[in-house]
Amino acid sequence: MASPDIAVTREAETVSDPNIAPDTGAPFSTARTVRFGAGFLAFGLLWIVGLQIVAAVLLPQRLKDIGVASPESLLGTISAVTAIVSLVSNLVFGTLSDRSRSRFGRRAPWILAGAIIAGVTLTAIGFVADPFTITVVYCLSMVGLNMMLAPAVAVLADRVPQRLRGTMSAFYGGGLAAGAPLGSLIGAAFLTTSAPGFVLGGALMIAGGIVALLVWPRERSARDLPPVAAGIADLLRSFRPPRKAPDFYLAFAGRLFMLVSYQMVMAYQLYIVQDHIGLDEGQTAATIATMSVILLVVSLIGSVVSGPISDLIGRRKVPVVAASILFAVGVAMPWIWPTPMGMFLYAGIAGFGYGVYTSVDQALNVDVLPNEKEFGKDLGILNLSTTAGQTLGPLITSAIVVATGGYSLVFLVSIVAAVLGSVFILFIKKVK
């Protein structure tokens, strides 16, 4: 068994070498690279498909089916409440995984437990008919999801060499980019019979965590790591955000504004197609299905290509900024042309931009982390920007629709948010 001092020395030596894995002190073999890449791809794909089946399609339709008077407003409220839960749980479980000393590793136990909790509760949403109960169950699902996500994303930082992080981020981003429209496509197929769709969504959420753990090389025991100080005071101090880390907070702001832009349109795509474009339920299902196919193809291409290119040229900021601007152009399409073709152009242009963004942005966020001993906590803080963006986006859209009675201003605000996000990224100094 290695002593704590040896473990610290090994970590200090390997973290500065871009070719060395921090946890093993050795370069990645081809087999190890393939296993991590496949694991990140499967993880991102499965959990986002499961979530999007419910969040993007079945949950909004469920609110209509149970007779909610203003489903748009309730969806915004649910998003706000679940966001608070997600904000807290992401930080908490990221920090707790940093401090874990299990023989199964720091991350694996949390990933497995979170996947099960998230999947079971996501399924349960389809079998309750009270708005308050739906909100509570959805909150529990977000607790499980963040219990799984915070440690899983930290794997990229504490097990993958720096020179391969863009590529691994591309696999994960490719899964997310392809899975989001695929989830909407699958969800649209269950619009008229939703119960099996909720079951499928929950099952895929569970599968995401389990498949990742099975495909990734087994995580080393964490019992060799230096012990953490006990006590409530030390635990509370461990949640403290990093200080004197301006690039960290610029990355946070950049992602926040981009996710606000993305969720303002994506979370309301069902209502936009129905109310802004003016299609009936059957036409809506067909339009969302076509959009989903377009998004699936272009997002996958954008994400798979951009990550390895980012590693090759040693640049993170240029792809992220270009992707943000491209996304803004795509959002303008249904604003200019409120037709199904406008939505298809949005799917093609914005989808490609978001695919590039998700691929490179995660690697950029890992590169700006200030303390290698607190990867889980600091990534948890950065992931708060994702949760906050996912929350604020629908809330802003809901407020605009209620105030104006339409979606025109929604597109303009979404465009401005995406551009602002790119400006923050440009000011980062640590990353090229």
Tokens representing 296 are: 């699936």
Tokens representing 174 are: 């490719």
> DSSP class of residue 103?
T
Please state, in angstroms and as integers, the Cα–Cα distance from residue 160 to each residue in 37, 123, 155, 412, following that order.
Answer: 10, 33, 7, 39
Q: What is the structure's pLDDT at 98? A: 77
Distance separating alpha carbons of residues 151 and 187, to the nearest angstrom: 28
Closest alpha carbon to 65 in 193, 188, 183, 189: 193
Distance separating alpha carbons of residues 28 and 17, to the nearest angstrom: 12
User: For the chain, what is the radius of gyration of the CA atoms?
Assistant: 21
When mean pLDDT is compared across 9-18, 66-75, 140-149, 207-216, the lowest value belongs to: 9-18
Q: What is the structure's pLDDT at 12? A: 42
408-426 average pLDDT score: 90
Q: What is the structure's pLDDT at 375? A: 65
- List, for residues 212-249, the tens digit of each pLDDT value: 999 999 888 877 776 665 656 665 665 666 667 777 78
Q: Is 60 exceeded by the pLDDT of residue 14?
A: no
Q: What is the structure's pLDDT at 232? A: 66
Q: Is 90 exceeded by the pLDDT of residue 71?
A: no
Q: Tokens 């349960």 — which residue? A: 124
188-211 average pLDDT score: 92
Task: Provide the pLDDT confidence category of residue 374 given band limits of 50, 70 and 90.
Answer: low
- List, for residues 246-263, the tens digit of each pLDDT value: 777 888 888 889 889 998
- List, for residues 284-325, the tens digit of each pLDDT value: 778 888 888 888 788 888 877 777 777 776 677 778 888 889
Q: Is 80 exceeded by the pLDDT of residue 380?
A: no
Question: Count of CB atoms within 10 A of residue 69's CB?
Answer: 7
Q: Tokens 């242009």 — which residue? A: 349
Closest alpha carbon to 161 in 35, 32, 18: 18
Closest alpha carbon to 98 in 44, 153, 40: 153
Beta strands in 11-148 (DSSP E): none
Residue 5: what are its φ and ψ, rounded to 5°? Answer: -65, -40
Distance separating alpha carbons of residues 311 and 365, to the nearest angstrom: 14
For 164, counting Cβ atoms within 10 Å of its Cβ (0-12 exposed, 13-18 middle, 19+ buried), the class is buried
Q: What is the structure's pLDDT at 7? A: 40
Of the segments 145-159, 285-299, 366-380, which one has the largest average pLDDT value? 145-159
406-420 average pLDDT score: 90
Task: Provide the pLDDT confidence category of residue 5 given band limits of 50, 70 and 90.
Answer: very low
Domain covering 13-426 in this structure, CATH number: 1.20.1250.20
Distance separating alpha carbons of residues 425 and 419, to the nearest angstrom: 10
Q: What is the structure's pLDDT at 247? A: 78
Distance separating alpha carbons of residues 416 and 414, to the nearest angstrom: 5
280 contacts: CB under 8 Å, gap ≥ 6: 274
Q: Are 311 and 163 a contacting pair, CB within 8 Å? A: yes
- List, for residues 26-45, the tens digit of each pLDDT value: 788 888 889 999 999 999 99
